[in-house]
Structures are given as C-alpha cells and as structure tokens.
Amino acid sequence: MKKKWFICCLAVLLFMTGCDISGKVEEELKQAAEAMEEEKLPSFTQLSSEQAELLKQKQTGQFYYDKLNGEEKTVYVEILDILEKCDADIALSCLETDMIEKVFQYVLNDHPEIFYVDGYTYTRYTLGEEVKKITFSGIYLMDETQIKEYRAQIENYVNTCLASISPYMDDYEKVKYIYEYIIEQTEYDAQAPDNQNICSVFIHRRSVCQGYAKATQYLLARVGIDSALVMGRVLGGEGHAWNLVNINGEYYYVDTTWGDASYQMVEGNDNSLLSSIPPINYDYLCVTTQQMERTHTLDHKELIPVCDAMTDNYYVREGLYVTEMNEEKLAQIFQDAYENGESYITLKGATQEIYQEMIDYLIKEQGIFKYLNSEAGTVSYADNKEQFSVSFWL
C-alpha cells in the first residue's frame, strides 16, 4: 500500500509542476499492481535449496532420474516430495508445463512404492501473458489411513517372499527366485483391481504387465539389485511393460508377465491348454536386446542401454543352452533333470539353425525317446519358435 500511495502523490506533484511524464507514471502504477498481485500467489516450493540438494543426492542412481538435466532433477525431487507427503497445490520451481508430464512419469517409473497416485493436476498463475508460478497436486487413490493399511499388507507379502532369500545366493539366483515367486503367486487378470501398481500383485495376487513389472522392480530393490521399468509394445501392437535389470554390471531384460503361463493362456484364448505348457516360461529371464526384439518393441529406445551379455542368461546359467547337437550332453541334461525331480525341461538353441536341428533330431527323428524314462511311446512338448526353445515333459 505504501508503494501505491507514493506513486499517487508523485503523480499529483508532477501534474502541478506541469511536467509531462505520464508514461513513466503509468509504468510505475502497473508495476505496483503487479507486485500486489504477486503477493497473492501461492508460496514457493516447500523445499529449501538444502533439502532439495539432499533429496537429489538420495535419488542419484535411480535410472530415470539420472537421465534428467539439472532443472528437471530439481522438479523431480519437488514432485517426489509432494507425492510422498500426499500434498496438493504446492508451487514448483519450473514455469514450463511441458516438463511436468515427463518428470512426473519418471518419478513413478523410479518409485513403484508410490502405488496410491493415479495422475496429477497443475494450476498456472499468470500476469498478462507471463506465467508467474505453477502449483502441483497429485491425484490420490486413497487417503493416508488406507495407504498405511496397504503398506502393512505389502510388507507382509515382501517379508514372506524374501524370507527364502539366502545370503549365499548371487544376484542371478535372486532375480530368478523373485521371477519364479511372483509368477507362482500371481494370476494374469486384466480385470484385477489396482492392476497398474504393486498392490495388484502383493495384495490381490492378480495383475497385468504393469503390476508384474513394478512388483519385480520393488522386490529387486529390496534385495539390492538395480532395475528399471521399461515400456513398449509386443506383437500385435499391444502396450506392455517389463524390466531392465543390472546383474554384475551387465544389463538384461526380464519380463515376468510373459514368464507366466496364465498370461500365455489368456492371450491365446485357450485355457484348456494350460496343463500342456510349462507353468514358468524362462525365455524372458535375463535376455539380450536381440532376443527381446523378436517379440517386443521399446518406447524411448534411446534411453535404454543395449543388453548383449549372456553370462547370466537363464539357459546359460542352468546348462540348457545348446550351441551344438551333442547326444552325450543331451543325455546328461535329461539325467540331471530326472535326478533333481523336475517335471519338465526346456532347451534353448543358440541360433535358429541349432534350434531347427534340435526339432529335427528330437521330434521328427524321435531322438527324444533316448532320454525319456517312459514306456508310453508318446511325448508331450511345447516349442517357442521366436525364442528357439522347446520344452519336454519328463
């Protein structure tokens, strides 16, 4: 108010002296009005610069956070702080709405534990054409009491799952265990509640690809393994989500959804065949970019490192990767499977040519009967032409 009073008095004085500087007075009055309007704007972000820097340090190493520039990283920790506190109408430090969508999605990609958010809203405050501030609010699926209840149920699932993780397991063995555990405990169901977040897997035990992938990411983080949610499309153009996993400094793809027989049967629309395919499909456990691209197409491929390691591929680690047709090696593989009490065995050809040789020898030429402990004269098998693998029931 003092500013406005001073300007009015100045205008009267100048008029009395006959000076013609009305343009300058109008500009001063405009600035004063704008100053008053700015006082009505919401307060700045609730984070101090020191708090923001501390949060940035904690986020360093998160896959998507590390892809952002400096300003985007600041907005990332501001949005993360708002969502974690279930806050609303908090001012951000940015004045560009285009940035918000990208950063918000990156926050959710890195943080599957934020299961209670289903979007966001923002409000722009402008003076004339100029954006002065933007406030941000999460769209929350539940209140704080419900969030607390869900977290308790999630923790019960996680504790039960991870109780069987041995300190003697290496990272590959932990990834394999979590892959198998989720598949065994979850049924693919497009109508499952909360199917875009971890609650569908951890609480309802029914989910779709996003729920599978986020649950896998969450459990891997709990055992100290870096992973990221990746999205794209599969054959037919359907949207899909899976994981990028870092094992011993090498990246691999893991698709827990496609590892689940219940997903394969829903997609194939012939659930009567459920007993005739392996309950767990290992073709999507720790695979390369080349293997994954036979059936999957990545969104934002430029962000994702190429996966070309085979050291911790499932078939390599389990001794089921066939690089040449060797009858003695095949005999040992089947003998080991029987001794371990396995109900089925899956072999993977290193190339399409090796795969075709396996099919010709084991099926067309009936070489499989040399290795089966069966007198029935029949064999049950399932093959995956895209991934060069074939499964036999023992």
pLDDT tens-digit readout, 192-219: 999 999 999 999 999 999 999 999 999 9
Q: Are residues 164 and 254 in the same domain?
A: yes
d(CA 78, CA 190): 33
The pLDDT assigned to 5 comes to 35
Residue pLDDT, tens place only, 260-280: 988 876 555 444 444 567 889
Same domain, 233 and 259: yes
Q: Are residue 307 and residue 268 in the same domain, yes or no?
A: yes
Instruction: Give the pLDDT score at 8.
Output: 36
Q: What is the CATH number of the domain that holds 226?
A: 3.10.620
241, part of any domain: yes
**44: in domain:** no
Tell me the percentage of the chain whose pLDDT exceeds 70.
85
Q: Last residue of some domain: 253, 288, 318? A: 318
* Residues 301 and 357 placed together within one structural domain of the fold: no
> What is the bridge-based pairing of β-strands 206-207 and 187-188?
parallel
| One domain for residues 391 and 259 | no
Query: What pLDDT sits at residue 39?
Result: 58
Answer yes or no: are the C-beta atoms of 88 and 137 closer than 8 Å.
yes
- State the Cα–Cα distance between residues 277 and 261, nearest whole angstrom: 7
Which residue, among 310, 318, 327, has the nearest Cα to 362 in the 3D structure? 327
Question: Phi and psi dihedrals of 91, rounded to 5?
Answer: -70, 140
Tell whether 353 and 287 lie within a shared domain.
no
Over range 375-386, report the average pLDDT. Answer: 82
| pLDDT tens, position by position, 136-181 | 999 999 999 999 999 999 999 999 999 999 999 999 999 999 999 9
Distances (CA, A) of 103 to 66, 93, 155, 235, 281: 12, 13, 28, 29, 34
Looking at 267, 292, 318, the residue that finishes a domain is: 318
pLDDT for residue 264: 72
Q: Which two tokens stand for residue 301?
A: 């491929």
Mean pLDDT of the chain: 87
d(CA 170, CA 176): 10
Q: Looking at the structure, do residues 187 and 276 belong to the same domain, yes or no?
A: yes
Is the domain of 357 the same as that of 393? yes
Q: Could you give the angle at the alpha carbon of 54 between the alpha carbons of 52 and 56, nearest 5°?
A: 70
Alpha carbons 146 and 149: distance in angstroms, whole number: 5
Can you tell me the distance from the alpha carbon of 152 to that of 60, in angstroms, rounded to the nearest whole number? 27
Q: What is the mean pLDDT of residues 332-339?
A: 94
Give the model confidence (pLDDT) of 187-199 as tens digits: 999 999 999 999 9
Range of the domain at 265: 143-318
**What is the C-alpha to C-alpha distance for residues 323 and 333, in angstroms, rounded to an integer?**
14
The reply to whether 132 and 170 lie within a common domain is: no
- Distance from chain centroid for Cα 321: 28
pLDDT of residue 267: 55
One domain for residues 290 and 331: no
Clarify whether residues 81 and 133 are in a common domain: yes
- Can you give the pTM of this predicted structure? 0.86
